[in-house]
Chain A
Amino acid sequence: MTDTTGMTEQARVREVGRARTRKEDARLVTGQTTWTDNMSAPGLLHVAILRSPMAHARITRVDATPALEREGVVAVFTGRDLAEGLGSLPCAWQVTEDMVLPDHPPLAVDEVRYVGDPVAVVVARDRYAAADALEDVWVDYEPLPPVMDLEAALADGAPLVHAHKGTNHCYTWPLVSGDYESARAAADIVVRRRHHQQRLIPNAMEPRACMVVPVPATGEYTLYSATQIPHILRIMMALTTGIPEQKLRVVAPDVGGGFGSKLQVYGEDAIMLALARALGQPVKWTESRSESYQAQHHGRGQIQDIELAATSDGRLLGMKADILADMGAYLMIITPGVPLLGAFMYPGIYKMDAYDFHCTGVFTTRTPTDAYRGAGRPEATFAIERTMDELAAELGLDPLELRRRNWIRHEEFPFTTVAGLTYDSGNYAAATDRAVALFGYQDLRAEQRARHANADPVRLGIGISTYTEMCGLAPSRILGSLRYAAGGWEAASIRVLATGKVEVITGTSPHGQGHVTAWSQIAADALGVPFEDVEVMHGDTRVAPQGMDTYGSRSLVVGGIAVHEAALKVVAKARKLAAHLLEASEDDLDFADGVFTVRGSPEASKTIQEIAFAAFAAHDMPEGMEPTLNAEHLVDPENFSYPHGTHLCAVEVDTETGAVAIRSYVCVDDVGRVVNPMIVEGQVHGGVAQGIAQALYEEAVYDEAGNLVSGTMADYLVPAAPDLPDLVTDRTETPSTSNPLGVKGVGEAGTIASTPAVVNAIMDALRPLGVHDVRMPCTPERIWRAVRDAAHDKAENSRKGDAS
Chain B
Amino acid sequence: MATTPMPRASSARIHVNVDGVDHLDEVEPRLLLIHYLRDRLDRTGTPIGCDTGNCGACTVDLDGVSVKSCQVLAVQADGCRVTTIQGLAGPDGAWHPLQKAFHEQHALQCGYCTPGMIMAARDLLRETPDPTPEQVRDALEGNLCRCTGYQNIVRAVLAAAAELRRQGAPEPRGQAADVPQASGQEAPA
* Chain B: minimal CB distance from A162 (Å): 32
Of A26, A33, A255, A714, most buried by chain B (CB within 10 Å of CB) is A33
Measured CA separation A204–B146 after assembly (Å): 6
Measured CA separation A206–B149 after assembly (Å): 16
The reply to whether the CB of B171 lies closer than 8 angstroms to some CB of chain A is no
Of A1, A32, A685, A690, most buried by chain B (CB within 10 Å of CB) is A685
The reply to whether the CB of B103 lies closer than 8 angstroms to some CB of chain A is yes
Measured CA separation A203–B144 after assembly (Å): 10
Are the C-beta atoms of B111 and A289 separated by less than 8 Å? no
Known: A38-B38, A206-B49, A721-B137. A33 touches B146 (CB 8 A): no
Are the C-beta atoms of B51 and A288 separated by less than 8 Å? yes
Are the C-beta atoms of A514 and B49 separated by less than 8 Å? no
- Among B6-14, B112-120, B174-182, the stretch that binds chain A is B112-120
* Chain A: minimal CB distance from B58 (Å): 11
Measured CA separation A29–B112 after assembly (Å): 9
- Among A17-25, A115-123, A530-538, A577-585, the stretch that binds chain B is A17-25
Q: Which chain A residues lie closer than 8 Å to B39 at the CB level? A: 126-127
Known: A38-B38, A713-B50, A721-B153. A31 touches B110 (CB 8 A): no
Residue tally, chain A, CB below 8 Å to B: 56
Are the C-beta atoms of B151 and A726 separated by less than 8 Å? yes
Q: Which chain A residues lie closer than 8 Å to B147 at the CB level? A: 205, 257, 512, 682, 686
B145 touches which of A25, A33, A205, A722 (Cβ 8 Å): A205
Are the C-beta atoms of B148 and A682 separated by less than 8 Å? yes
The reply to whether the CB of A327 lies closer than 8 angstroms to some CB of chain B is no
The reply to whether the CB of B129 lies closer than 8 angstroms to some CB of chain A is no
Are the C-beta atoms of B86 and A31 separated by less than 8 Å? yes
Contact indicator per residue, chain A 188-210, by CB within 8 Å of chain B (1) or not (0) = 00000000000000011111000
A289 touches which of B49, B103, B109 (Cβ 8 Å): B49
* Chain B: minimal CB distance from A102 (Å): 31
Q: Which chain A residues lie closer than 8 Å to B50 at the CB level? A: 288-290, 712-713
Q: Which chain A residues lie closer than 8 Å to B163 at the CB level? A: none
Contact indicator per residue, chain A 2-40, by CB within 8 Å of chain B (1) or not (0) = 000000000000000000011011111111110101100
- Chain B, interface size category, equals 35 or more
Known: A38-B44, A205-B110, A205-B112. A713 touches B52 (CB 8 A): yes
Known: A256-B47, A685-B151, A721-B140. A204 touches B54 (CB 8 A): no
Measured CA separation A127–B40 after assembly (Å): 12
Measured CA separation A25–B112 after assembly (Å): 11
Q: Which chain A residues lie closer than 8 Å to B152 at the CB level? A: 681-682, 685
Q: Which chain B residues lie closer than 8 Å to A441 at the CB level? A: none
Q: Which chain B residues lie closer than 8 Å to A701 at the CB level? A: none
The reply to whether the CB of A158 lies closer than 8 angstroms to some CB of chain B is no
Are the C-beta atoms of B153 and A712 separated by less than 8 Å? no
Are the C-beta atoms of A203 and B146 separated by less than 8 Å? yes
* Chain B: minimal CB distance from A155 (Å): 38
Contact indicator per residue, chain B 75-113, by CB within 8 Å of chain A (1) or not (0) = 000000000111011000001000100111010111111
The reply to whether the CB of A436 lies closer than 8 angstroms to some CB of chain B is no
Q: Which chain B residues lie closer than 8 Å to A290 at the CB level? A: 50-52
Known: A713-B55, A714-B52, A721-B141. A257 touches B110 (CB 8 A): yes
B45 touches which of A33, A203, A289, A721 (Cβ 8 Å): A33
Q: Which residues in chain A, 298-315, are within 8 Å of chain B measured between CB atoms?
A: none
Are the C-beta atoms of A205 and B150 separated by less than 8 Å? no
Are the C-beta atoms of B138 and A722 separated by less than 8 Å? yes
Known: A259-B146, A727-B151. A722 touches B141 (CB 8 A): yes
* Chain A: minimal CB distance from B171 (Å): 21
Are the C-beta atoms of B103 and A255 separated by less than 8 Å? no
Are the C-beta atoms of B52 and A128 separated by less than 8 Å? no
- In the complex, what residue of chain B is closest to A692 when comparing beta carbons? B149
Q: Which chain B residues lie closer than 8 Å to A26 at the CB level? A: 103
The reply to whether the CB of A254 lies closer than 8 angstroms to some CB of chain B is yes
Q: Which residues in chain A, 251-307, are within 8 Å of chain B measured between CB atoms?
A: 254-257, 259, 288-290
B144 touches which of A513, A681, A718, A726 (Cβ 8 Å): A718
The reply to whether the CB of A397 lies closer than 8 angstroms to some CB of chain B is no
- In the complex, what residue of chain B is closest to A28 when comparing beta carbons? B111
* Chain B: minimal CB distance from A257 (Å): 4
Closest 10 CB pairs of A and B: A31-B45, A28-B111, A256-B112, A512-B110, A689-B149, A512-B109, A685-B149, A38-B44, A289-B50, A31-B85
Could you pull out 9 A-B pairs where Cβ atoms are within 8 angstroms?
A: A22-B106, A28-B111, A31-B43, A127-B35, A203-B146, A205-B112, A713-B51, A718-B144, A722-B137
Chain A positions within 8 Å of B, measured between CB atoms, are 1, 21-22, 24-33, 35, 37-38, 126-128, 203-207, 254-257, 259, 288-290, 511-514, 678-679, 681-682, 685-690, 712-714, 718, 720-722, 724, 726-727
